[in-house]
């Protein structure tokens, strides 16, 4: 059985300070985390591997300037990791990345299960998993809280309305996991040292493929950035006016807008 | 000169920080309050290889060198001095002697389970008559056939109450004293004749076991002699040297934590119309703390590099311990002052850190001994032999 | 002028009729919530209207479901120029493949310029699949839109790190442009009761869902989110009044329940739920402080909160200095009305 896990990195928000008034984002400490939801997807993959035996292969969710995220995945226990490079890959958005990932999966010889995070920490993107499912022609189960594989089926608990339900799909399938859904394992220390020192068997497990060569044509993005915007500067100390009923209305409006219910 | 950490050490620090925040930080206050040893944390650290961070992968370790070990102690020291102390006694003095002087059979049998946290180690040197004056120990080991019979006891042994393996120093020839008369033994604590007499109730590092041990006709097989008979002192001194460096790293973590808390509080606390951060007296305290922390950081990791590259380091390791313990004490003292009354309440980590810091100037060789070691080394280089 | 006067002026019924053929347009895929149109669908229609007016195009809504024909009038009232309805028992509750088949055939024929979905479970899944199928770009969780006239591309704003700042993106060439709209970000449009139309019915082919619902996950307990990481918190203090109402507010907002030291002393919360530098430091998107005076130690522990709503009877309570919105009132008086308004 082969499980593909698609992983990405995100700048640690604890190292960022946003100055809304100046319209600037200051990066005080540039440290990258593995996307929390992708980390849960990786954990889910490793649990299936522990239980049923499988080859777990890590692929990148977006263009990466270095292979650190893939080394982390190897330290955590994946069998192989593929670092994608290529002229013109740098600007790829999700739509472009899907083409590269589909080609990479074909070159691997296919897979039985594709796992990735349900959402990204920074931009709240949920589309990668479903896009991959469409491109591969596989069923998708999104926003899962747990995963079990048995009898060629993926069984996932997900939220539907206010309830948690158990759903299942035949493999091959794409399943995306919620951040915080699983208790995460720690990397194995010796594996970690070896992969970062490039020694031992594990060093062979990290490969580099040229994405543009795989796909056979440039990977132009469909969506492009058009700058940033900042929330209005925080005005503390505002008081709601009027009767208790009017104050309640003002409070309700403010809450509804921010809690989104 | 390249002052950056290698990729494996950067990745190691990230892994340790994640572990410490998830597993150690939530229980730090409880360990102190309930006087409990972090058994679960020790087991988990062992499972991922961290209790063998500096030992070879061949014997269950990680192979990340002294630098890796310093990183572990620094990150633990930021959050829980008690846990750092448990780990330091296990790796840095308990298992370290076996790593430095053990035979391949001894390493196979003992170092591997110690590296994986399947067994816990301690280091048995100190006695009631022999602290700084380590050569004055009285625990006796007498040869009987293919074993040695140990009689005597030890005091203030960190991890002593729950360790599985203790490297014990005993007198094998009273006439020869420290030079040729002391031998190191690997003792398993479930052997008959070994017992834990009591646990100390301490002011600080209350999340550690500080035990009094008793040996009564404790039979130790000859193959458990560590190094050569009569050369125990040499083994232990080597191991203590390395332990000094890593204690300095734990103090670095503690001092950094004190600085971070102080900066955060100074940003928030308002008095006389402005935050504490705007008051010069506080700025100077912060500046002093920060400078000492940076100096200590440079010293600790430079010495770690020297150890990892096979250079002599005794004198500088002593400086790490001496300076580190005093920097940490000064830092937490200033942090307490900056926090005012809040620093005294038991709901806030400052008062625990304050109580935890003091021991660093005393154990692992008092700072007085460290100064003697440093001065002795300096004068020897100039051809003067200092008489102790 | 107010809405009721406007109604009088517009007392004539307006029957909208669509332009024939041509394709294009700004489409909204309707979402259902508890048998009614989800609020985000109406909000999306408002956004669609803005875009359509700038584009010189029409607004269309498509409503998949079962037994939903009586919901179509509201779509016209909210601004749709045309409505398509796919009403079939196979669409009774959301399942990907059946819904996808309807929308995929529809959009292949209609060739929209822009398609809006609510950023809901169904909306996100459909948007991504359709975007991939049709080669369109997808921008998610959009909170504001404007139009780049030159390329007829929607410039969409979406939050980063939960709203610490925002990024703007556009899809200059690929069509359709797909967007998912963040619930609560756009205002609900005025419902013009005099606007109506004749929806067109879409043929629905039976398509099997690939994912089967086995049943309720009875044994499943979602992992507990530590208070320090909870995104929404309702906290009570000594002056909170009726603590039961406060708990109901927490449930209504999907919030975790906490308090200050006074609340612990009163026995309303456990010691592990104290929001205080000596307890738990929190960083929620929304923090509601009910009857908490707000001393230094509490206020320092909520510094990273995105939005603080405070209710306290004493106008000089320090909590008001750190609150984004303060209600100088007794929580017992305000809570019932607040709970009602949130329904």
Q: How much is the average pLDDT of A188-205? A: 94
Same domain, B252 and B360: yes
In a domain, C188, yes or no: yes
Say whether both C77 and C13 belong to one domain.
Answer: yes
In a domain, C153, yes or no: yes
DSSP SS3 for C94: coil
Chain centroid to CA B232: how far? 20
Say if CB A174 and CB A111 are below 8 A apart: no
Radius of gyration of chain B (CA): 21
Q: Are residues B241 and B360 in the same domain?
A: yes
Record: contact C323-A254, CB cut-off 8 A: no
Q: Could you read off the pLDDT of C118-147 as tens digits, one per residue?
A: 999 999 999 999 999 999 999 999 999 999
Average pLDDT over every residue of C281-303: 94
Which strands make up the sheet holding C26-29, listed edge to edge?
A: C137-142, C177-181, C114-118, C26-29, C59-65, C82-87, C200-201
- The per-residue pLDDT of chain C, averaged, comes to 92
At C10 the pLDDT is: 61
Looking at the fold, whether C155 and C265 belong to one and the same domain comes out as no
Preceding omega of C176 cis (within 30 degrees of 0):
yes
pLDDT value, residue C21: 55
Domain count of the fold of chain B: 3
> Can you give the CATH number for the domain in which B344 is found?
1.20.140.10
In a domain, B93, yes or no: yes
What CATH number has the domain bearing residue B203? Answer: 2.40.110.10
Q: Is residue C73 part of a domain?
A: yes
| Pair (B152, B260) in one structural domain | no
pLDDT tens per residue, range B17-33: 999 999 999 999 999 99
3-state helix, strand, coil in chain A (%, to 5): 35, 30, 35
Kindly state whether residue C211 falls inside one of the protein's structural domains: no
Q: Are residues B271 and B299 in the same domain?
A: yes
Pairwise CB contact (< 8 Å): A230 & C133:
no
pTM listed for this prediction: 0.92
CATH number of the domain at C288, please.
Answer: 3.40.50.1220
* Total structural domains within chain C: 2
Of the three residues B230, B257, B276, the one that is the final residue of a domain is B230
Regarding whether B133 and B110 lie in a shared domain, the answer is: no
Q: Do B246 and B316 fall within a single domain?
A: yes
Closest partner residue to C296 among B269, B345, B347, by Cβ? B269
Least confident of A54-58, A158-162, B121-125, B253-257: A158-162
C20 band by pLDDT with thresholds 50, 70 and 90: low
Domain limits for position B277: 234-381
Residue with tokens 């909000």: C43
C225, A180: Cβ pair inside 8 Å? yes
Does residue B314 share a domain with residue B262? yes
C-chain residues near A253 (CB < 8 A): 341
Residue C216 domain-assigned? no
- Of C154, C185, C201, which residue sits at a domain end? C201
Q: Which of B230, B253, B277 is the last residue of a domain?
A: B230
> In angstroms, how far is CA C160 from the centroid of its own chain?
17
CATH classification code of A2-223: 3.40.50.620
Q: What is the pLDDT of residue B135?
A: 84
Catalytic residue chosen out of the listed positions B30, B217, B364, B381 = B364
Report the gap between the CA of C303 and the closest CA in chain B (Å). Answer: 9
The reply to whether B332 and B291 lie within a common domain is: yes
More confident residue, A219 or B255: B255
| Residue C115 distance to chain A (closest CA, Å) | 15
Helix (H) and strand (E) counts for chain C?
10, 20
Name the CA dihedral angle for C161, C162, C168, C174, rounded to a multiple of 10 degrees: 100
Residues C260 and C314 in one domain: yes
Give residue B56's pLDDT: 97
Whether residue B82 is found in the same domain as residue B139: no
B248 and B340 together in one domain: yes
What CA–CA distances, in Å, run from A133 to A99, A128, C217, C249? 12, 9, 24, 39
CATH of the domain at C174: 3.40.50.620
What part of A 144-203 touches B (C-beta under 8 Å)?
Answer: 186-190, 192-194, 196-197
Instruction: Collect all residues of chain A within an 8 Å Cβ-Cβ radius of residue B48.
Output: 186-189
Residues C102, C168 within the same domain: yes
Contact call for residues C130 and C107 (beta carbons, < 8 A): yes
Evaluate whether residue B294 is within a structural domain: yes
- 10 Å CB burial of residue C210 (0-12, 13-18, 19+) is middle
Mutate to test the interface with B, among A66, A189, A192 (most CBs of B within 10 A): A189
Residue C16 has pLDDT above 90, yes or no: no
C289 lies in which domain range?
227-341
Q: What is the pLDDT of residue A21?
A: 87
User: Residue B28: which CATH number?
Assistant: 1.10.540.10
Distances (CA, A) of B380 to A231, B321, B374: 67, 21, 10
How far apart (Å, rounded) are the C-alpha atoms in residues A216 and C220?
A: 45
**Residue B364 falls in the annotated catalytic set:** yes
Distance, in Å, from the CA atom of B29 to the CA atom of B38, rounded to the nearest integer, reads 11
Whether C162 shows a pLDDT value over 90: the answer reads no
Structure confidence at residue C8 (pLDDT): 65
Whose structure tokens read 């606390």? B269
Inform me whether the pLDDT recorded for C18 exceeds 70: no
Same domain, C163 and C263: no
pLDDT of residue A185: 96
């Amino acid at each position: 059985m082969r499980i593909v896990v698609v992983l990405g990195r995100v700048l640690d928000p604890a190292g960022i300070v946003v100055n809304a008034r100046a319209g600037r984002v200051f990066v005080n400490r540039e440290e990258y985390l593995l996307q929390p939801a992708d980390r849960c997807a990786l954990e889910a993959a490793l649990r299936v591997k522990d239980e049923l035996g499988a080859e777990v292969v890590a692929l990148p969710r977006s263009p990466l300037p270095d292979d650190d995220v893939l080394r982390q995945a190897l330290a955590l226990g994946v069998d192989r990791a593929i670092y994608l490079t290529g002229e013109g890959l740098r600007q790829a958005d999700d739509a472009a990345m899907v083409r590269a990932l589909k080609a990479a999966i074909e070159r691997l010889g296919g897979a039985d299960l594709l796992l990735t995070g349900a959402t990204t920490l920074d931009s709240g993107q949920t589309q990668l998993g479903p896009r991959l499912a469409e491109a591969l022609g596989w069923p998708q189960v999104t926003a899962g809280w747990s995963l079990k594989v048995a009898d060629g089926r993926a069984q996932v608990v997900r939220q539907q309305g206010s309830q948690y339900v158990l759903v299942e799909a035949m493999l091959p399938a794409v399943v995306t996991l919620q951040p915080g859904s699983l208790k995460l394992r720690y990397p194995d220390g010796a594996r970690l040292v070896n992969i970062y020192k490039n020694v031992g068997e594990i060093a062979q497990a990290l490969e580099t493929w040229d994405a543009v060569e795989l796909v056979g044509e440039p990977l132009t993005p469909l969506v492009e950035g058009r700058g940033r915007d900042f929330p209005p500067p925080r005005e503390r100390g505002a008081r709601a006016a009027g009767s208790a009923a009017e104050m309640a209305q003002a409070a309700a409006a403010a809450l509804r807008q921010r809690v989104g219910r | 000169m390249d002052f950056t950490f290698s990729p494996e050490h950067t990745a190691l620090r990230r892994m340790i920080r994640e572990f410490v925040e998830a597993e150690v930080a939530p229980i730090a206050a409880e360990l102190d309050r309930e006087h409990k040893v972090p058994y679960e944390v020790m087991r988990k650290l062992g499972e991922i290889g961290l209790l063998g961070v500096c030992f070879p992968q061949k014997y269950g370790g990680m192979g990340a060198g002294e630098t890796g070990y310093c990183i572990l102690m620094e990150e633990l020291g930021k959050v829980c001095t008690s846990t750092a102390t448990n780990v330091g006694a296990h790796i840095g003095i308990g298992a370290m002697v076996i790593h430095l002087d053990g035979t391949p059979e001894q390493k196979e049998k003992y170092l591997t389970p110690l590296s994986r946290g399947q067994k816990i180690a301690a280091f048995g040197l100190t006695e009631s008559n022999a602290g700084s004056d380590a050569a004055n120990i009285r625990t006796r080991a007498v040869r009987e056939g293919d074993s040695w019979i140990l009689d005597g006891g030890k005091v203030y042994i960190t991890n002593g109450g729950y360790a599985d393996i203790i490297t014990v120093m005993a007198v094998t020839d009273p006439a020869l004293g420290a030079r040729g008369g002391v031998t190191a033994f690997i003792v398993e604590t479930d052997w008959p004749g070994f017992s834990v007499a009591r646990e100390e109730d301490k002011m600080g590092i209350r999340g550690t076991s500080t035990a009094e041990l008793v040996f009564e006709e404790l039979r130790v097989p000859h193959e458990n002699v560590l190094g050569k008979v009569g050369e125990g002192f040499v083994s232990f001194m080597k191991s203590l040297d390395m332990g000094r460096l890593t204690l300095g790293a734990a103090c670095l973590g503690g001092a950094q934590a004190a600085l971070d808390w102080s900066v955060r509080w100074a940003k928030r606390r308002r008095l006389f119309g402005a935050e504490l951060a705007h008051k010069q007296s506080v700025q100077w305290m912060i500046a002093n703390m920060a400078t000492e922390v940076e100096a200590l950081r440079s010293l600790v990791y430079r010495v770690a590099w020297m150890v990892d590259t096979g250079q002599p380091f005794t004198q500088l390791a002593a400086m790490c311990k001496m300076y580190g313990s005093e920097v940490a004490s000064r830092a937490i003292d200033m942090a307490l002052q900056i926090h005012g009354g809040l620093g005294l309440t038991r709901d806030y980590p400052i008062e625990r850190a304050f109580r935890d810091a003091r021991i660093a100037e005393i154990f692992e060789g008092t700072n007085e001994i460290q100064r003697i070691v440093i001065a002795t080394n300096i004068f020897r280089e100039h051809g003067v032999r200092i008489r102790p | 002028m107010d809405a009721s006067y406007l109604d009088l002026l517009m007392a004539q019924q307006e029957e909208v009729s669509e332009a024939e053929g041509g394709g294009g347009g700004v489409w909204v895929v309707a979402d259902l919530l508890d048998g009614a149109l989800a609020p985000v669908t109406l909000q999306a229609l408002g956004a669609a209207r803005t875009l359509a007016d700038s584009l010189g195009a029409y607004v269309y809504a498509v409503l998949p479901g079962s037994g939903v024909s009586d919901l179509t009038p509201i779509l016209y009232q909210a601004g749709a120029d045309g409505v398509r309805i796919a009403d079939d028992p196979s669409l009774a509750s959301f399942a990907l493949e059946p819904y996808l088949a309807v929308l995929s055939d529809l959009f292949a024929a209609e060739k929209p310029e822009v398609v809006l979905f609510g950023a809901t479970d169904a909306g996100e899944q459909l948007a991504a699949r359709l975007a991939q199928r049709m080669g369109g770009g997808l921008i998610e969780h959009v909170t504001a839109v404007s139009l780049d006239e030159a390329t007829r591309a929607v410039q969409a704003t979406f939050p980063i790190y939960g709203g610490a700042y925002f990024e703007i993106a556009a899809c200059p060439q690929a069509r359709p442009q797909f967007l998912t709209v963040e619930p609560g970000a756009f205002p609900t449009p005025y419902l013009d009761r005099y606007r109506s139309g004749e929806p067109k019915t879409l043929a629905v082919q039976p398509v099997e869902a690939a994912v089967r619902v086995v049943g309720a996950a009875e044994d499943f307990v979602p992992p507990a989110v530590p208070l320090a990481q909870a995104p929404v918190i309702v906290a009570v203090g000594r002056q909170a009044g009726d603590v039961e109402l406060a708990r109901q507010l927490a449930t209504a907002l999907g919030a975790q329940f906490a308090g200050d030291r006074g609340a612990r002393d009163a026995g309303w919360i456990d010691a592990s739920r104290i929001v205080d530098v000596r307890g738990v430091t929190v960083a929620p998107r929304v923090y509601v402080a009910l009857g908490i005076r707000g001393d230094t130690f509490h206020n320092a522990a909520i510094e990273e909160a995105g939005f603080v709503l405070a209710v306290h009877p004493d106008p000089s309570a320090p909590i008001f200095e750190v609150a984004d919105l303060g209600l100088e009132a007794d929580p017992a008086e305000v809570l019932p009305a607040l709970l009602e308004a949130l329904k």
